[in-house]
Chain A
Amino acid sequence: MLEVKGVTKSFGTGDRTVTAVNNVTMAVPDGEFAAIVGRSGSGKSTLMNLLGALERPTSGMIFVDGQDITRLGRGELVQYRRRSIGFVFQSYNLIPNLSSTENVMLPMEFAGVGKDERRQRARSLLDQVELTGGKQHRRPGKLSGGEQQRVAIARALANSPRLILADEPVGNLDTQTSGTVIELLRSLAHARGTTVVAVTHDLSLADRADRVFRLQDGRLQAAGGSGPAPSAAGAEARESGR
């Protein structure tokens, strides 16, 4: 279970203070595919960074399986990102001089997995995202956008995280490829029981999500999905049937 309670993130810009995420409260049960939608500048990516412990909130708490990640020390944050989180970025963020397999092996290397095991698991994950054969040995520059995003998804799954955070995962993809990637993320959530939270302004992705949170000017406006309300504290979130 992912729970966000009253999280606020403010940035100082000169004399002004900009609040990118303002008192957000939300919850995503395990194994759900949730989408956070909003316009550019609404605070989606900042919220994603906070969920992934890539930066600390100004206030509020974020619980992942009951553990408040905002109180973790530096070393614990590294372990959290290493073991519990998988990231999928809009522009894939693959390491350009590593092959697909080596890119997927990288998080496992950080986690201390043995070389043979990580190579075997990387190939298996690439097979699961349907990137097979010689493409597993190609560098990102020799792959299409959709193929690169599959590699990124396989990399996110490398250490079997409890939570996958996808920041505009289909933002750079064509419609057909987007559909494939969305279905892949959705099936991951349902088949593996991995919680997937995707930030997007792509309505096709939001339509396929189990739960939708809408951000506007840093505030959560509404939530939609087939399941129960995100949390009791999510008064601003609206639950709607699908």
Chain B
Amino acid sequence: MSVLSRGVRNAFRSPVRAIAIVVILGLTIGLSFVMLIGHQSVENKVGTTLASIGTTVNITPVGYGTGSTANAHLTTAELSQVAQLPDVVGLDEALPDSLPSGGTAGAGGTLAPASPGAPLSIVGTNDPAAPSNIGASTLAIVAGHLIDGTGDADDAMVAATVAERNHLKVGSTFRAYGATLTVEAIFDSDTDNGNDTVIVPLATEQRLSDRPGEVISAVVTVDSLANLSAATGAIAMDLGPAADVTSDIAQAGQALAPLQSVESLSLYSLFGAAVTAAVIILLVMVMTVRERKREVGTVKAIGSSTVGVVFQFMTEALTLAVAGGAAGLIAGACAASSITSGLVSSSGHSGSPGSAPAAQNPALEHLSQVHVTATTPEVFIGLAGIAAIAAFGSAAASYLISRIQPAEALRSE
């Protein structure tokens, strides 16, 4: 019989007591595990949400879209200074307008919108591939090739539905602002507005609409999420009060605050439950070792070393902890999802998709839907934590007893 097997047998020397300890440990370890899983899951959710928000800053003239300052605009010159700011790695400028419809639809004539009565939009941009310019999240070229947004050629990209209604193909021409534009590409997007749009180079739109140097909106790309807040501030300072400078990070911070409070709560609870488990093991082992003080004296009298005694009690504690841990892990894995969901719901996320303030950014929707799973690293972290707690608790308790002289231990009752 080895120390290991003796330790395992000693752990269950009193079955009722052992079961009681395993149940108590199972509850605390299970709670620790739930909190560990919940914390990791919420942390992942916050991380992926922040990552999906992107590192962009939106710039519009003050009051744009409210109708109060209809003629407000930015200029290419102002924005060129923004492009020089630290951490700024991209600048997408756009000048939207509405094309007057009517006349002869079809190749060579003016364009009719895809849907009768709906406005047909035209956007001049230096980044024709960016779907944000047409209010969409996707933009796919289905025929032709991407136009050069930095040039001023009379080239156009036409939405597939517009092209179909007006019988346009790549190479066809149409009239706008009194000029003839050539269809270089046909694209498809994921929104109705996007599919009722014509995209032209920024300089072309500025020239054709007789608004030289004018820009209505811009999207600045920052090099990292960490620099987003600083870059946003720098841009706002550079452009002054004439521009609204917003990034999704502020909105995300507000939307994610309840989740982050759950993250903190679960972390504190994890530490609390882990400390409770450690205290339980420590007290159990203190009682166990004190009860068996005479036995400690006996085994030392017949040749065991202090390390041997400590190792045996550690084995016993580890056996109980592993049994409690296994019960706790199973219970925790079963309960983690519902407990975490409950915490998230009670933290302020109602769970209804699109609830304010998440509605403004698709990435901030469904924040209450936290995917809770116990991954292998979490299980290993849990097991390692249990083992560490048991080892510490038993080693501390048994060392205090086993270091006394055997005669003193033998004299105890």
Q: Which residues of A contact B (CB under 8 A)?
A: 46, 49, 52, 54-56, 74-75, 78, 81-83, 85-87, 89, 93, 95-98, 102, 105-107, 109-111, 115, 155-156, 158-159
Contact = CB atoms under 8 A, between A and B. Distances in A.
Contacts of B297: 54
A97 B298 contact: no
Nearest to A55: B407
Given A97-B9, A98-B1, A82 B408 contact: no
Nearest to B2: A109
B410 A155 contact: no
Contacts of A46: 407
Given A54-B405, A54-B410, A55-B406, A106 B299 contact: yes
B302 A87 contact: yes
A82 B410 CA distance: 17
Contact of B1 (A54, A85, A102): A102
Size class of B's contact patch?
20 to 34
Interface stretch (B66-74, B239-247, B303-311): B303-311
A49 B165 CA distance: 107
B13 A97 contact: yes
Contacts of A96: 13
24 contacts: A46-B407, A49-B406, A49-B407, A49-B410, A52-B301, A54-B297, A55-B405, A55-B406, A74-B306, A75-B305, A78-B300, A78-B303, A82-B302, A83-B303, A93-B294, A93-B295, A93-B298, A95-B298, A98-B1, A106-B299, A109-B3, A110-B304, A110-B308, A111-B303
Nearest to A165: B301
Contacts of A110: 299, 302-305, 308
A159 B405 contact: no
B6 interface: yes
Nearest to B406: A54
B101 interface: no
Contacts of A107: 302-303
Nearest to A80: B303
A236 to B, nearest CB: 24
Contacts of B305: 75, 78, 110
A217 to B, nearest CB: 19
A115 B9 CA distance: 18
B211 to A, nearest CB: 92
A86 B300 CA distance: 12
Most chain B CB within 10 A, of A102, A110, A156, is at A110
B288 interface: no
A102 to B, nearest CB: 5
A81 B302 contact: yes
A81 B295 contact: no
